[in-house]
Amino acid sequence: MSQDYTDKNKDLGELYPAHIGMLKATYDDALEQSGAAHAVIFSGALHYSFLDDNSYPFRANPHFLAWAPLTALPLSYIVYTPGEKPSLIYYQPHDYWHSVPGAPDGFWSDEFDIRIVHEVADAAKHLPPDRSKCILIGELLDEAQAFGIERINPSTMLNILHLARGRKSAYELACMRLASVRGAAGHKAAEQAFRNGASEFAIHQAFGKAVSLTDNELPYTNIIALNEHGAILHYTDLDRQPPADIRSFLIDAGAQVFGYASDITRTYSRGNEQFAALIKRMDDMQQAIVAKVHAGLDYRDLHIETHRMLAGVLVDADLATGDPDTLLATGVTSAFFPHGLGHLIGLQVHDVAGHMSDVSGTTIDPPSGHPFLRLTRVLHEDMVLTIEPGLYIIDMLLDNLRGSPAENHVNWHTVDALRPYGGIRIEDNVRVLTDGAENLTRDAFAQ
């Protein structure tokens, strides 16, 4: 955790006990429905490269992070028994090859009975003796890490936990606001580097310095795309030299605070007023979509409404002709905007349960013709989700329109003129309110 954020710990500490209370209530229900007495949450283990002793970056189990903001604590366990104080089995090895986790002390520590162990095998001494009454939640790389617990990640329990993750506690919302502020600082630095003519790699470095996170600490791999690269939805190659003519910049990059992520995208023009005007038009459309967010809204309907709104942008920009229904039905809008409008976000960038309708695990399919929509639920208060419409010149998708009724609805001359600029995406992180939305991202940029 960057020193810049430690002054916020007092505020988080005041919110944290109520967050733990919410978790306990969820786990009480999940254990009862699963017929178990104890939950054992494993933080995770290091993955090692094939035929090597070099590990991949550690990613903690999000279920573990929901209890404790310990993003770099492998081989540790939280044990929760309803009615009892949860225990934290804190693995602190004797090791002179690597840095060792420090003392388990922070705004969170009073909520746990902390048991420090120096050998992984010693964790067994602090687990419930009757393993048949335990459920283990987490990814195991070795069956020994289960210590004889046979019920591992049962769907009954995971469904309850995952569905509940959709609604954020006040503590979680505070962490996500901080992550948004951190991410916005990185975006401001990245935009300045772009304006100064930097390469993709140098822009990435400017972002990392501003957020004070290493690549391994970022919530996801940054998308830093100049010119045509903006049409590659998950572009991560990062050219080391700037192009001779820098025309446009699309950045999709986030930050994290105590495991909670922000996911922000912005697009910029350099010297082309027509492309800048199209970015402004997309930004206005994105804010109009955010204005439609409220509890009780079916996100699938919002996704389809976005395509209707995009149809108007395409016509206004002389990229297409026709009414919204025709442009949707012929696949024109999907060729320009192939991904989903957004997704849940929290401890994972693409947070769990985006398609779940209830604790039975029943899923809600995306609308026909829109397979990549990651959120299909009715929105509830205190969900946090992304709103990220896009408009791209992706030749593979546009070529599929040729020879179909859609071909005559596309202005190919304008498409050719826009191709060197790649595409546009605007993405904010939004909290659902009863009668509206809190835009964490816009608030962060305003600070």
Residues 111-153 have pLDDT tens digits of: 999 999 999 999 999 999 999 999 999 999 999 999 999 999 9
| Run of H or E residues at 310 | helix 299-316
Q: Out of 119, 146, 164, pick the residue that ends a domain.
A: 164
Do residues 255 and 273 share a domain?
yes
Do residues 202 and 149 share a domain?
no
Residue among 428, 427, 422 at smallest CA distance from 225: 422
Do residues 367 and 431 share a domain?
yes
Do residues 417 and 341 share a domain?
yes
Contact between 263 and 429 (Cβ < 8 Å): yes
Do residues 31 and 84 share a domain?
yes
- 166: which residues sit within 8 A by CB, 6+ positions away? 344, 351, 353, 377, 380, 383
Do residues 152 and 185 share a domain?
no
Do residues 132 and 203 share a domain?
no
How distant, in Å, are the alpha carbons of 57, 79, 154, 224 from that of 117?
A: 23, 14, 27, 42
User: Domain tally for the chain?
Assistant: 2
Do residues 221 and 266 share a domain?
yes
Do residues 159 and 112 share a domain?
yes
Contact between 135 and 160 (Cβ < 8 Å): no
Dump pLDDT digits (tens) for 148-193: 999 999 999 999 999 999 999 999 999 999 999 999 999 999 999 9
CATH number of the CATH domain containing 155: 3.40.350.10
Backbone φ and ψ for 108, nearest 5 degrees, come out as -95, -20
The stretches of 146-298 forming alpha helices (DSSP H) are: 155-164, 170-195, 200-211, 273-290
- 134: which residues sit within 8 A by CB, 6+ positions away? 36, 37, 38, 39, 40, 127, 128, 149, 151
Do residues 105 and 241 share a domain?
no
CATH number of the CATH domain containing 258: 3.90.230.10
How distant, in Å, are the alpha carbons of 66, 158, 186 from that of 127?
A: 20, 21, 42
Please give the model's pTM, rounded to 2 decimal places.
Answer: 0.96
Q: Give the CA radius of gyration of the chain.
A: 24
Residue 7: its pLDDT value, please?
Answer: 58
Do residues 89 and 66 share a domain?
yes
Q: Containing domain of residue 68, as a range?
A: 3-164
Q: Out of 131, 164, 197, pick the residue that ends a domain.
A: 164
Residue 6: its pLDDT value, please?
Answer: 53
Q: Out of 149, 164, 179, pick the residue that ends a domain.
A: 164
Do residues 397 and 305 share a domain?
yes
Q: Where are the beta strands (DSSP E) in 363-403?
A: 384-387, 390-392
Contact between 359 and 333 (Cβ < 8 Å): no
What are 127's strand-pairing partners? none
Task: Round to whole Å and give the CA distance between 172 and 346.
Answer: 8
How distant, in Å, are the alpha carbons of 174, 203, 331, 390 from that of 303?
A: 27, 31, 14, 12
Residues of the chain where predicted confidence (pLDDT) is lower than 70: 1-7
